[in-house]
Amino acid sequence: MKKYTKSDPTFNEEITITEPTDPGHADNINAAPKQIFENTLANKKEIEKGDSKERTITFTSGDVEGDAATEWSDVEKMVSGEKHKSLFNKISTMFKNVRYLYNVLGSEDLSQIGAGTVTGIVAALKQAAFLNPTNNLLATILGTSLDAVQGRILKEGQDALQDQITQINSDLILNSAFETWIMCY
């Protein structure tokens, strides 16, 4: 017996097998085992290349269609040595999270606010809403931060009622004093 090796193996989807009428020569007997061995070497070589562009991966997708992304899903950290199935599941869940963020953020053009970055927009909103809020009881213009034009109307009504109450109390004191003076005389 001799050792058999193949430096440039090729994969073949079929093998030749001996039939009862074939002569028992080593070329005939060894044809099938040689091709199976070459197929094994070709598969090993392909696997070791690490190229999976033509391989089909079966995995559970965490992704959904655009508007169906209604909640955030946590994704575990990717680590070396993971199977493709696990990686694709994590990546698809990340895509779903991106769709969720897009749905939550909407499609309004925010490029003119805070340089268009989320950090800049939040800073601009803090500046507008919390550092210079509108006095709701004095507001006359709609559209300012924390405006409530109705608050001014209510304040004016409250002030008018307070003036009336003060006048009534004053009148009661005067009437009582007048009645007391009359009774004394």
What's at 158, amino acid-wise?
Answer: Q
**Token code pair at residue 169:** 């109390």
pLDDT of residue 99: 92
pLDDT of residue 66: 84
What integer best gives the mean pLDDT of the chain?
Answer: 82
Is residue 114 classed exposed, middle or buried when 0-12, 13-18 and 19+ CB atoms within 10 A define those classes? middle
Neighbours of 16 (CB within 10 A): 12
Question: In this model, does residue 95 exceed pLDDT 60?
Answer: yes
The least confident of 15-29, 42-56, 62-76, 93-107 is 42-56
DSSP string, 94-145: HHHHHHHHHHHH-S---TTSGGGSHHHHHHHHHIIIIIS---TTT--STTST
- Report the alpha-carbon distance of residue 132 to residue 113 in Å, rounded: 17
Q: Are 78 and 87 in contact (CB under 8 A)?
A: yes
pTM exceeds cut of 0.85: no
- 83 SS3 class: coil
Q: Tell me which residue of 96, 100, 22 sits closest to 64, measured CA to CA.
A: 96
- pLDDT tens column, 5-34: 888 888 888 888 888 898 888 888 888 898
Please name the residues in contact with 180: beta carbons below 8 A apart, sequence gap of 6 or more. Answer: none
